[in-house]
Amino acid sequence: MSADPTQVLAFDPSCHIFQSNGCGFEGPGLHSFLFEPLWGDTDGVYFNKPMLLALLGSLIIVGFFWAAFRKPKLVPGKFQMIAEAGYDFVRRGIVYETIGKKEGEKWVPLMVSIFFFVWMMNLWSIVPVAQFPVTSIIAYPAVLALIVYVIWMTLTFKRHGFVGGFKNLTGYDKSLGGVLPLVMVIEFFSNVLVRPFTHAVRLFANMFAGHTLLLLFTIASWYMLNGIGIAYSGVSFVMVVVMTAFELFIQAVQAYVFVLLACVFIQGAVAEHH
Protein backbone atom coordinates (compact mmCIF):
# COMPACT_ATOMS: atom_id res chain seq x y z
CA MET A 1 0.00 0.00 0.00
CA SER A 2 1.14 3.53 -0.71
CA ALA A 3 -0.47 5.29 2.20
CA ASP A 4 -0.45 4.38 5.85
CA PRO A 5 -4.02 4.18 7.24
CA THR A 6 -2.79 4.67 10.79
CA GLN A 7 -1.42 8.05 9.71
CA VAL A 8 -4.98 9.39 9.87
CA LEU A 9 -5.23 10.39 13.50
CA ALA A 10 -8.99 9.70 13.70
CA PHE A 11 -8.74 6.24 12.11
CA ASP A 12 -9.29 3.18 14.27
CA PRO A 13 -7.42 0.21 12.71
CA SER A 14 -9.79 -2.24 14.46
CA CYS A 15 -12.81 -0.72 12.72
CA HIS A 16 -14.42 -2.57 9.80
CA ILE A 17 -17.72 -2.32 7.96
CA PHE A 18 -20.67 -4.44 9.16
CA GLN A 19 -19.37 -4.56 12.73
CA SER A 20 -21.80 -4.50 15.64
CA ASN A 21 -19.89 -1.80 17.51
CA GLY A 22 -21.24 0.78 15.08
CA CYS A 23 -17.89 2.31 14.13
CA GLY A 24 -18.08 4.37 10.96
CA PHE A 25 -15.70 5.15 8.16
CA GLU A 26 -13.19 7.84 9.11
CA GLY A 27 -12.02 9.45 5.90
CA PRO A 28 -8.82 11.48 5.48
CA GLY A 29 -8.82 15.22 6.06
CA LEU A 30 -6.58 18.02 7.24
CA HIS A 31 -5.75 15.95 10.33
CA SER A 32 -4.02 13.48 7.99
CA PHE A 33 -1.31 16.09 7.41
CA LEU A 34 -0.62 16.81 11.09
CA PHE A 35 2.17 14.97 12.87
CA GLU A 36 3.17 14.79 16.49
CA PRO A 37 6.67 16.18 17.13
CA LEU A 38 9.44 13.60 17.17
CA TRP A 39 11.37 16.02 19.32
CA GLY A 40 10.28 19.13 21.22
CA ASP A 41 6.69 20.38 21.36
CA THR A 42 4.38 22.42 19.14
CA ASP A 43 4.53 25.38 21.53
CA GLY A 44 8.23 25.84 20.90
CA VAL A 45 10.99 24.42 18.72
CA TYR A 46 10.18 20.95 17.45
CA PHE A 47 11.12 18.38 14.81
CA ASN A 48 8.49 16.22 13.13
CA LYS A 49 8.20 13.56 10.43
CA PRO A 50 8.02 15.89 7.38
CA MET A 51 11.12 17.72 8.62
CA LEU A 52 12.91 14.40 9.05
CA LEU A 53 11.93 13.34 5.52
CA ALA A 54 13.12 16.66 4.09
CA LEU A 55 16.47 16.25 5.85
CA LEU A 56 16.86 12.62 4.79
CA GLY A 57 15.86 13.50 1.23
CA SER A 58 18.51 16.23 1.06
CA LEU A 59 21.16 13.83 2.37
CA ILE A 60 20.12 11.17 -0.14
CA ILE A 61 20.41 13.59 -3.06
CA VAL A 62 23.78 14.94 -1.94
CA GLY A 63 25.03 11.42 -1.22
CA PHE A 64 23.88 10.12 -4.60
CA PHE A 65 25.57 12.85 -6.62
CA TRP A 66 28.69 12.68 -4.46
CA ALA A 67 28.93 8.93 -5.05
CA ALA A 68 28.32 9.45 -8.77
CA PHE A 69 30.89 12.19 -9.35
CA ARG A 70 33.54 11.83 -6.64
CA LYS A 71 35.68 9.81 -9.08
CA PRO A 72 34.28 10.56 -12.54
CA LYS A 73 35.34 8.27 -15.36
CA LEU A 74 35.43 8.69 -19.12
CA VAL A 75 33.37 5.51 -19.36
CA PRO A 76 30.79 6.13 -16.64
CA GLY A 77 29.67 3.53 -14.13
CA LYS A 78 26.03 2.98 -13.16
CA PHE A 79 25.77 5.84 -10.65
CA GLN A 80 27.64 8.29 -12.85
CA MET A 81 25.58 7.35 -15.92
CA ILE A 82 22.26 7.85 -14.10
CA ALA A 83 23.44 11.11 -12.51
CA GLU A 84 24.72 12.44 -15.83
CA ALA A 85 21.42 11.53 -17.52
CA GLY A 86 19.44 13.37 -14.85
CA TYR A 87 21.71 16.40 -14.91
CA ASP A 88 21.68 16.54 -18.70
CA PHE A 89 17.89 16.22 -18.80
CA VAL A 90 17.45 19.31 -16.65
CA ARG A 91 20.25 21.22 -18.39
CA ARG A 92 19.24 20.55 -21.99
CA GLY A 93 15.57 19.69 -21.66
CA ILE A 94 14.55 22.53 -19.36
CA VAL A 95 17.20 25.22 -18.85
CA TYR A 96 18.64 25.45 -22.36
CA GLU A 97 15.21 25.13 -23.98
CA THR A 98 13.77 27.92 -21.83
CA ILE A 99 16.55 30.37 -20.99
CA GLY A 100 19.02 29.52 -23.74
CA LYS A 101 22.49 28.00 -23.54
CA LYS A 102 24.44 31.23 -23.05
CA GLU A 103 22.28 32.74 -20.30
CA GLY A 104 21.11 29.43 -18.88
CA GLU A 105 24.41 27.70 -18.16
CA LYS A 106 24.97 29.61 -14.92
CA TRP A 107 21.52 28.55 -13.65
CA VAL A 108 21.91 24.84 -14.34
CA PRO A 109 23.28 23.86 -10.87
CA LEU A 110 20.42 25.64 -9.09
CA MET A 111 17.74 24.15 -11.33
CA VAL A 112 19.19 20.65 -11.05
CA SER A 113 19.19 21.02 -7.26
CA ILE A 114 15.59 22.23 -7.15
CA PHE A 115 14.40 19.54 -9.56
CA PHE A 116 15.83 16.62 -7.64
CA PHE A 117 14.90 18.08 -4.26
CA VAL A 118 11.25 18.53 -5.30
CA TRP A 119 11.16 15.10 -6.92
CA MET A 120 12.60 13.44 -3.83
CA MET A 121 10.16 15.24 -1.54
CA ASN A 122 7.32 14.02 -3.77
CA LEU A 123 8.63 10.45 -3.94
CA TRP A 124 8.41 10.01 -0.17
CA SER A 125 4.67 9.51 -0.74
CA ILE A 126 5.19 5.99 -2.09
CA VAL A 127 8.21 4.94 -0.04
CA PRO A 128 7.26 2.35 2.63
CA VAL A 129 7.32 3.65 6.21
CA ALA A 130 7.76 7.25 5.02
CA GLN A 131 4.51 7.34 2.98
CA PHE A 132 4.11 11.10 2.97
CA PRO A 133 4.90 13.74 0.31
CA VAL A 134 6.72 16.57 2.06
CA THR A 135 5.55 19.05 -0.58
CA SER A 136 1.93 18.48 0.49
CA ILE A 137 2.74 20.88 3.33
CA ILE A 138 2.52 24.38 1.84
CA ALA A 139 5.56 25.73 3.72
CA TYR A 140 8.01 23.71 1.61
CA PRO A 141 6.77 24.74 -1.86
CA ALA A 142 6.31 28.30 -0.55
CA VAL A 143 9.96 28.60 0.50
CA LEU A 144 11.17 27.20 -2.83
CA ALA A 145 8.87 29.57 -4.73
CA LEU A 146 10.12 32.46 -2.59
CA ILE A 147 13.73 31.66 -3.47
CA VAL A 148 12.86 31.69 -7.17
CA TYR A 149 10.83 34.90 -6.72
CA VAL A 150 13.71 36.74 -5.02
CA ILE A 151 16.13 35.65 -7.76
CA TRP A 152 13.66 36.69 -10.45
CA MET A 153 13.01 40.15 -8.99
CA THR A 154 16.68 40.80 -8.21
CA LEU A 155 17.74 39.76 -11.69
CA THR A 156 14.99 41.84 -13.33
CA PHE A 157 16.00 45.11 -11.70
CA LYS A 158 19.72 44.36 -11.86
CA ARG A 159 19.54 43.69 -15.59
CA HIS A 160 17.17 46.50 -16.61
CA GLY A 161 17.42 49.08 -13.85
CA PHE A 162 14.44 50.37 -11.89
CA VAL A 163 12.51 51.90 -14.80
CA GLY A 164 13.34 49.10 -17.21
CA GLY A 165 12.53 46.49 -14.59
CA PHE A 166 9.17 48.12 -13.91
CA LYS A 167 8.40 48.09 -17.65
CA ASN A 168 9.48 44.46 -17.83
CA LEU A 169 7.08 43.47 -15.04
CA THR A 170 4.15 45.50 -16.32
CA GLY A 171 4.37 44.65 -20.01
CA TYR A 172 4.84 48.28 -20.98
CA ASP A 173 4.26 48.77 -24.72
CA LYS A 174 3.36 52.18 -26.16
CA SER A 175 1.69 50.57 -29.17
CA LEU A 176 -1.16 49.41 -26.90
CA GLY A 177 -2.48 52.95 -26.80
CA GLY A 178 -5.41 53.64 -24.48
CA VAL A 179 -5.53 50.18 -22.94
CA LEU A 180 -1.90 50.42 -21.79
CA PRO A 181 -2.72 51.52 -18.18
CA LEU A 182 -5.15 48.61 -17.77
CA VAL A 183 -2.66 46.14 -19.21
CA MET A 184 0.09 47.43 -16.92
CA VAL A 185 -2.08 47.04 -13.82
CA ILE A 186 -3.10 43.49 -14.80
CA GLU A 187 0.47 42.49 -15.70
CA PHE A 188 1.87 43.99 -12.50
CA PHE A 189 -0.70 42.17 -10.37
CA SER A 190 -0.13 38.94 -12.28
CA ASN A 191 3.67 39.03 -12.16
CA VAL A 192 4.32 40.44 -8.71
CA LEU A 193 1.53 38.77 -6.73
CA VAL A 194 -0.15 35.92 -8.61
CA ARG A 195 2.85 34.20 -10.18
CA PRO A 196 4.75 33.35 -6.98
CA PHE A 197 1.50 32.26 -5.32
CA THR A 198 0.49 29.90 -8.14
CA HIS A 199 4.08 28.65 -8.42
CA ALA A 200 3.89 27.31 -4.87
CA VAL A 201 0.23 26.29 -4.82
CA ARG A 202 0.43 24.25 -8.04
CA LEU A 203 2.97 21.89 -6.49
CA PHE A 204 1.32 21.85 -3.08
CA ALA A 205 -2.22 21.25 -4.37
CA ASN A 206 -1.23 18.36 -6.61
CA MET A 207 0.68 16.57 -3.87
CA PHE A 208 -2.00 17.31 -1.27
CA ALA A 209 -4.80 15.97 -3.49
CA GLY A 210 -2.82 12.93 -4.59
CA HIS A 211 -1.95 11.92 -1.06
CA THR A 212 -5.55 12.43 0.10
CA LEU A 213 -6.79 10.08 -2.64
CA LEU A 214 -4.20 7.46 -1.74
CA LEU A 215 -5.25 7.67 1.89
CA LEU A 216 -8.93 7.46 0.98
CA PHE A 217 -8.60 4.26 -1.04
CA THR A 218 -6.12 2.69 1.40
CA ILE A 219 -8.33 3.29 4.42
CA ALA A 220 -11.39 2.14 2.47
CA SER A 221 -9.59 -1.10 1.54
CA TRP A 222 -8.97 -1.82 5.21
CA TYR A 223 -12.38 -0.63 6.44
CA MET A 224 -14.33 -2.85 4.00
CA LEU A 225 -12.19 -5.93 4.67
CA ASN A 226 -15.00 -7.78 6.41
CA GLY A 227 -17.85 -10.04 5.26
CA ILE A 228 -19.30 -9.23 1.86
CA GLY A 229 -17.34 -5.98 1.96
CA ILE A 230 -14.23 -7.94 0.91
CA ALA A 231 -15.24 -7.59 -2.74
CA TYR A 232 -15.42 -3.80 -2.39
CA SER A 233 -12.14 -3.89 -0.48
CA GLY A 234 -10.49 -5.60 -3.45
CA VAL A 235 -11.74 -2.92 -5.83
CA SER A 236 -10.47 -0.21 -3.51
CA PHE A 237 -7.08 -1.90 -3.27
CA VAL A 238 -6.84 -2.01 -7.07
CA MET A 239 -7.45 1.74 -7.01
CA VAL A 240 -4.58 2.11 -4.52
CA VAL A 241 -2.25 0.37 -7.00
CA VAL A 242 -3.55 2.45 -9.91
CA MET A 243 -3.26 5.71 -7.96
CA THR A 244 0.25 4.81 -6.83
CA ALA A 245 1.35 4.33 -10.43
CA PHE A 246 -0.36 7.58 -11.39
CA GLU A 247 1.32 9.38 -8.50
CA LEU A 248 4.72 8.23 -9.73
CA PHE A 249 4.02 10.05 -12.98
CA ILE A 250 2.59 13.16 -11.30
CA GLN A 251 5.52 13.42 -8.90
CA ALA A 252 8.01 13.64 -11.75
CA VAL A 253 5.78 15.99 -13.76
CA GLN A 254 5.39 18.40 -10.84
CA ALA A 255 9.16 18.57 -10.32
CA TYR A 256 9.52 19.28 -14.04
CA VAL A 257 6.80 21.96 -14.06
CA PHE A 258 8.17 23.70 -10.97
CA VAL A 259 11.64 24.02 -12.51
CA LEU A 260 10.23 24.91 -15.93
CA LEU A 261 8.29 27.83 -14.43
CA ALA A 262 11.37 28.95 -12.50
CA CYS A 263 13.28 29.02 -15.79
CA VAL A 264 10.45 30.92 -17.49
CA PHE A 265 10.63 33.60 -14.79
CA ILE A 266 14.40 33.93 -15.15
CA GLN A 267 14.13 34.02 -18.93
CA GLY A 268 11.65 36.87 -18.62
CA ALA A 269 14.06 38.71 -16.35
CA VAL A 270 17.05 38.47 -18.70
CA ALA A 271 15.09 39.05 -21.93
CA GLU A 272 15.52 42.42 -23.61
CA HIS A 273 12.45 44.61 -23.27
CA HIS A 274 11.05 46.02 -26.48
What is the structure's pLDDT at 76? Answer: 81
Q: Which of 88, 134, 84 is nearest to 111 (CA)?
A: 88
Predicted TM-score (pTM) above 0.85: yes
pLDDT in tens, 13-24: 777 777 766 677
Question: What total number of domains does the chain contain?
Answer: 1
What is the structure's pLDDT at 39? Answer: 86
What is the structure's pLDDT at 226? Answer: 80
Low-confidence ranges of the chain (pLDDT < 50): 1-9, 274
What is the structure's pLDDT at 1? Answer: 39
What is the structure's pLDDT at 11? Answer: 60
What is the structure's pLDDT at 20? Answer: 65
CA distance 265 to 269: 6
What is the structure's pLDDT at 78? Answer: 83
Q: List the domain range (segments joined by +) for residue 242.
A: 5-270
What is the structure's pLDDT at 10? Answer: 52
CA distance 102 to 96: 8
CA distance 104 to 266: 9
Q: Which of 66, 28, 11, 16 is nearest to 212 (CA)?
A: 28
What is the structure's pLDDT at 66? Answer: 93
End-to-end CA distance of the chain: 54
- B/e letters for 66-75, b = 16+ CB within 10 Å, e = fewer, are eebeeeeeee
In angstroms, what CA-CA distances link 190 with 126, 169, 187, 202, 267?
35, 9, 5, 15, 16
What is the structure's pLDDT at 273? Answer: 57
What is the structure's pLDDT at 5? Answer: 41
